[in-house]
Amino acid sequence: MKKKILKIVGGFLLLFIVILVAAPFFLEGKIAEIVKNKVNNNINGTLDFEDADLNLFSSFPNAKLRLNAISLINSAPFEGDTLFSADRIDLKMGLTQLFKNASEPIAITSLIIEKANLAIIVDEAENANYDIGKEKGETDTGDSSQSSGFRLALESYEITDSKIRYSDLSTKTHLTLTDLNHMGNGDLSLDNSELDTNTNAFVSFQMDSTNYLKNHKIQLDAKIGIDLKERKYSFLENEALINQLPIVFTGYVKVNEADQEIAIDFKTPSSEFKNFLAVIPEEYSKNIESVKTTGNFEVQGEFKGVVDEKHIPTFSITINSDNASFKYPDLPKSVQNVHIDVAINNTSGIAEDTYVDIKKLSFSIDEDRFDMTSKIVDLLGNTKVNAHVGAKMNLANLSQAYPMPSDLDLKGMLDADVTTAFDMASIERKQYEKTKTAGNMALRDFEYSSEEIPNPVKIQSAKMTFNPNTVTLNEFKGATGKTDFESTGTINNLLGFLFNEEKVEGNFDLKSNTFALNDFMVEETDSEEGTTSEPEEKIKIPSFLDCNINASANTVLYDNLTLKDVSGNLKIKDESAILTNMTSSLFDGKMAFNGEVSTKTEAPVFAMKLGMNGFKIGETFKALELFNVLAPIASALQGKLDSDIELSGNLNDDFTPNLATISGKVLAELLATDINADESKILSSLGNKLNFINSDKLNLQGLKTALSFENGVVKVKPFTINYDDIAIKVAGSHTFDQKLNYTATLDVPAKYLGSEVNSLIAKIDDSELEGLTVPITANIGGAYGSPTVSTDLTSGVKKVTAQLVAVQKQKLVNEGTDAAKDLIGGILGGNSSENDSLEAAESNNGVQEAIGGLLGGGAKTKDTANTGQETSGQEKDALKEAASGILGGLLGKKKNNDDTEKAKDSVN
């Protein structure tokens, strides 16, 4: 019997284990679907998650459901915004909850949320993105008995490594909690219970562009009494840490249908002055445990009243310290005579009526003293400020008494006495005439060092006068690196810059003996993980400036250039610098330029017009990479240059042009130019191909040429260079990567083409051939350093030679024909005398001989008789044959064309 019972029990146990193992495979899909449906049917939004894992063993006898990659997306009016996301959520519940039907609520006993991100937004119309619950009857389930879906019966919950961001655009309020870790334990299924909680996070709070807290560490250990029937939450045993300042508090919060009641008192548990240092962020207050203090510091206050759409609780907060001091053990000086008397109050429950009264805030270091009083009313409305600041301090003493940041090193003497009264509405509307500011501030021998600037800024003297509407900069002398500066001017909106995020507006006169652009370059380091790139130096035009500057400098150092006597107008606005009527001396010439430079985009851009007069060509093209790229032949030129240039494109980080991006055009005129062909492989290669040209003697005086360039290609408008009596026409293009594509067409006089051509011209002895020119084309390709030059010189010489030979042939034929006509005409007509016949025959000795042979059988010509020379037998035969052909033509006899041509060739 016992064995049978054991078998039955064992069978049931085995079946139970099998069910526990198999159930997750059957229930995971169902649970995931139930969770999504229950939530999505009750909200105006969409809950989704990547997958759901169900485990019945790790938390037995409870079931554990894990949801991965959860997101909750808003519907209109915040459609598409992510209200909530988390890496995972663990839900613990009883096993029986898994088998409920879809209409029954699921009771959750434990909740764990990891790496959550909650983004709460209230827009300007006061719509809240967390208001996603559907109204009664709005759920679309088809079942009127559908419940709300979930019932919290929590015994514990935990939120780890999470972030909460609250932004109220209607009140310009922003609260952020980062690195949030919160946990609580208690039975929330009971009507009355106690919840033990522990919270730590970093908090930042900003209201109306003013940062009140920035990454302040907070910690809260609180035991909260919960009365679910009364919806009242009481703070029983509570202690909070703000940075390192301890605060204890008691009270309650009661949630009503239309409002919430609040009654909370708080204070510091002790009155040591260390409490004041504890408010300061830990990175600045350092190790306050070792700081020696005297005097007191107390914070206490209360919040009482109701919270609804129109009211906040009234409150009173006081901060007091009387004749306190502190000294850090590793610093030589102490801060003494610390007096703090500050009250923050609201007595009406209307948020706009909150005010801050700084009755006294003062301290001294040795003989230095700082005093401030201020009253700020309507803190959350049209804030009104009335303040006075008086200071006479050696700024170097600050770091001698207080642990300043390692990259901040202040030096100098400050003397200030300033009173101001203004309201924020007037500043926002730029109605500065309604503000009242008066007083003076002077700073001398000031020195400021920071990692944000490459060199310390040294201000020899600065004096400002505060007027009701403006601030007059009476004197401002200083230096940084190689740069010195001296400025005067007027700031139109200092209060707007300080309190309303406005840009500094003003007019200034700036003078400098030496202004080095590199002194304003900063290193930017790529902070992305895994990058190993070196820090880059970049120049950025300040985004907070909107000012007009009349500038002049004796010397400006820009890259490897030294500009002299620079003057003109500089307008800085919207991260752009607009230059107008700027002039400078450079390379013994004068330069005028107008244009704009902007660093607003990732890559700085520029557009510029330059007028250059009398620039030394050699120095210009050696120093400026752009010019050397535009005109590679210029390295061989000596003399001066006038030029008008328009160009635009991107700048490199050091403000030099990025050649791959620029485009523009150039109109240039060369003045008094000499040429050294040895300095240019292009010219020397051309001279080697055309040995009748000496490149050093090219005449470039007054040469005007135009260039245009874009996408890395420079196109040259055709121009003509003169070389003695040779005109050279040049056209083509080249690329920024040094590829050449040019043609040079030369009208070469025939006299340069060698003895053969000139001998032919002399034989022809025709005046029309004296100005004969031959077009020769030189094609220039290859690269700057290794150009290739090819010409059609040989073919040109052959062509002109052939032309001259043809002319000579035709001339001889024409002359022989005319002489023959005259002689034969005389013979046949019988009217010509012997002398006439002889004169006609003298026109061509060869023809005369031929005619004489035909008619008289070997008669001598007039010239032969005079010289005593006789024509050889071979020449006679040739001339006879030619004459026969000519006569045959004249007399109408047919003769073979080949024979005629052969006769003509014999003459030649």
Structure tokens belonging to residue 885: 């052909």
Residue 12 — pLDDT band, cuts 50, 70, 90?
very low
CA-nearest of 456, 455, 454, 461 to 478 is: 461
CA-nearest of 732, 604, 711, 607 to 660 is: 711
Q: Do residues 665 and 809 both lie within one domain? A: no
pLDDT at 512 over 70: yes
According to DSSP, residue 861 is labeled P
Residues 6+ apart with CB under 8 A from 569: 548, 549, 550, 551, 579, 580, 581, 582
Phi first, then psi: what are they for 495, rounded to 5°?
A: -65, -40
What is d(CA 820, CA 272) in angstroms, rounded to the nearest whole number?
A: 141
Give domain status of residue 518, yes or no.
yes
Give domain status of residue 618, yes or no.
yes
What is d(CA 399, CA 391) in angstroms, rounded to the nearest whole number?
A: 17
Q: Do residues 809 and 669 both lie within one domain? A: no
Count of domains observed in the chain: 2
Specify whether the CB–CB gap between 309 and 383 falls below 8 A.
Answer: no
According to DSSP, residue 382 is labeled S
Specify whether the CB–CB gap between 581 and 568 falls below 8 A.
Answer: yes
Which of helix, strand or coil describes residue 898? Answer: helix
CA-nearest of 780, 761, 781, 764 to 772 is: 761
Domain termination site, one of 675, 692, 708:
675
Q: Do residues 800 and 663 both lie within one domain? A: no
> Taking the CA atoms of the chain, what radius of gyration do you get in angstroms?
50
Name residue 214's amino acid.
K
Q: What is the mean pLDDT of residues 722-735?
A: 84
* Confidence (pLDDT) at 868: 40
Give domain status of residue 836, yes or no.
yes
Domain termination site, one of 675, 691, 707:
675
What is d(CA 570, CA 576) in angstroms, rounded to the nearest whole number?
A: 10
Specify whether the CB–CB gap between 128 and 168 falls below 8 A.
Answer: no
* Confidence (pLDDT) at 210: 66
Specify whether the CB–CB gap between 633 and 672 falls below 8 A.
Answer: no
Q: What is the mean pLDDT of residues 211-224?
A: 82
Query: What DSSP line would sit under 288-335, residue for residue?
Result: GGG-EEESB-EEEEEEEEEESSS---EEEEEEEEEEEEEE-TTSS--E
What is d(CA 154, CA 149) in angstroms, rounded to the nearest whole number?
A: 15
What is d(CA 233, CA 221) in angstroms, rounded to the nearest whole number?
A: 15
Q: Do residues 518 and 665 both lie within one domain? A: yes
* Confidence (pLDDT) at 863: 43
Which residue would you say has higher pLDDT here, 163 or 815?
Answer: 163
Half-sphere exposure of 215 (CA within 13 A, CB side): 4
Give domain status of residue 818, yes or no.
yes
CA-nearest of 664, 660, 642 to 652 is: 660
Which residue would you say has higher pLDDT here, 474 or 20?
Answer: 474
User: Picking from 116-130, 283-297, 591-605, 687-701, which range would have the lowest pLDDT averaged per residue?
Assistant: 687-701
CA-nearest of 73, 72, 150 to 111 is: 150
Which residue would you say has higher pLDDT here, 32 or 906?
Answer: 32
Tokens 């009016």 label which residue?
A: 77
What is d(CA 294, CA 746) in angstroms, rounded to the nearest whole number?
A: 97
* Confidence (pLDDT) at 282: 63
Q: Give residue 416's Cα distance to chain centre.
A: 39
Residue 879 — pLDDT band, cuts 50, 70, 90?
very low
Which range has highest mean pLDDT (463-467, 659-663, 684-688, 884-888)?
Answer: 463-467
Specify whether the CB–CB gap between 508 and 489 falls below 8 A.
Answer: yes
Q: Do residues 671 and 812 both lie within one domain? A: no
* Confidence (pLDDT) at 683: 74
Instruction: State the CB neighbour count (10 A cutoff) for residue 99.
Output: 10
User: Which helix (H) or strand (E) segment is 487 a member of?
Assistant: strand 483-491
Percent of the chain past pLDDT 90, that is, above it, reads 22
* Confidence (pLDDT) at 677: 63
Domain that holds residue 844: 796-907
Give domain status of residue 470, yes or no.
no
What is d(CA 66, CA 92) in angstroms, rounded to the nearest whole number?
A: 9
* Confidence (pLDDT) at 891: 36
User: Picking from 342-351, 603-612, 639-648, which range would have the lowest pLDDT averaged per residue?
Assistant: 639-648
Name residue 289's amino acid.
E
Residue 883 — pLDDT band, cuts 50, 70, 90?
very low
pLDDT at 902 over 70: no
Specify whether the CB–CB gap between 211 and 204 falls below 8 A.
Answer: yes
Name residue 419's amino acid.
T
**Summary mean pLDDT of the chain:** 77
Residues 6+ apart with CB under 8 A from 228: 188, 190, 191, 192, 193
* Confidence (pLDDT) at 513: 95
Residues paired with residue 595 on neighbouring β-strands, in sequence order: 579, 608
Which range has highest mean pLDDT (63-72, 401-410, 417-426, 637-646)?
Answer: 417-426
Q: Give residue 907's Cα distance to chain centre.
A: 82
Specify whether the CB–CB gap between 233 and 253 falls below 8 A.
Answer: yes
- Long-range own/partner contacts, residues 328-333 (CB < 8 A, 24 or more apart): 328/286, 328/290, 328/291, 328/401, 328/402, 328/403, 329/290, 329/291, 329/292, 331/400, 331/401, 331/402, 331/403, 332/400, 332/401, 333/365, 333/366, 333/397, 333/400, 333/401
Q: What is the mean pLDDT of residues 672-699?
A: 71
Residue 288 — pLDDT band, cuts 50, 70, 90?
confident
Question: To 10 degrees, the CA torsion angle through 136, 141, 143, 144?
Answer: 0
Specify whether the CB–CB gap between 66 and 89 falls below 8 A.
Answer: yes
Residues paired with residue 240 on neighbouring β-strands, in sequence order: 220, 247
Give domain status of residue 67, yes or no.
no
For the chain, give the number of residues.
908
pLDDT at 378 over 70: yes
According to DSSP, residue 631 is labeled -
Specify whether the CB–CB gap between 432 and 495 falls below 8 A.
Answer: yes
Which range has highest mean pLDDT (319-328, 557-566, 718-727)?
Answer: 319-328
User: Which helix (H) or strand (E) segment is 421 a member of?
Assistant: strand 409-423
Structure tokens belonging to residue 639: 């003399």
* Confidence (pLDDT) at 661: 87
Residue 552 — pLDDT band, cuts 50, 70, 90?
very high
Q: Do residues 666 and 802 both lie within one domain? A: no
Specify whether the CB–CB gap between 338 and 321 falls below 8 A.
Answer: yes
pLDDT at 523 over 70: no
* Confidence (pLDDT) at 191: 80
pLDDT at 280 over 60: yes
Q: What is the mean pLDDT of residues 399-426?
A: 86
In tens, the pLDDT along 784-840 reads 778 888 888 777 777 777 777 777 777 777 766 665 556 555 544 544 444 444 444
Upstream peptide bond of 61 is cis (omega within 30 degrees of 0): yes
Q: Do residues 809 and 664 both lie within one domain? A: no
User: Picking from 395-399, 700-704, 852-856, which range would have the lowest pLDDT averaged per residue?
Assistant: 852-856
Give domain status of residue 815, yes or no.
yes
Q: Give residue 288's Cα distance to chain centre.
A: 43
* Confidence (pLDDT) at 450: 65
Q: Do residues 670 and 801 both lie within one domain? A: no
Specify whether the CB–CB gap between 563 and 521 falls below 8 A.
Answer: no
* Confidence (pLDDT) at 286: 65
Q: What is the mean pLDDT of residues 496-511?
A: 85
Q: What is the mean pLDDT of residues 607-618?
A: 86
Give domain status of residue 833, yes or no.
yes
Structure tokens belonging to residue 54: 């169900």
Which range has highest mean pLDDT (146-160, 214-228, 798-812, 832-846)?
Answer: 214-228
Helix and strand counts by DSSP (H, E) for the chain: 16, 39
Angle between helices 873-891 and 793-829 in degrees, nearest 10: 70
* Confidence (pLDDT) at 136: 58
Phi first, then psi: what are they for 828, rounded to 5°?
A: -70, -30
Question: To 10 degrees, the CA torsion angle through 753, 756, 759, 765?
Answer: -70
Name residue 129's amino acid.
N
Domain termination site, one of 620, 642, 675:
675
Which residue would you say has higher pLDDT here, 668 or 102?
Answer: 668
Q: What is the mean pLDDT of residues 212-218?
A: 79
pLDDT at 905 over 50: no
In tens, the pLDDT along 597-609 reads 998 888 899 999 9
Residues 6+ apart with CB under 8 A from 315: 301, 302, 303, 304, 344, 345, 346
Task: Report the chain's terminal Cα–Cα distance, integer Å.
Answer: 148
CA-nearest of 659, 609, 668, 600 to 634 is: 668
DSSP strand pairing (150-168 vs 106-122)? parallel
Model pTM score: 0.57
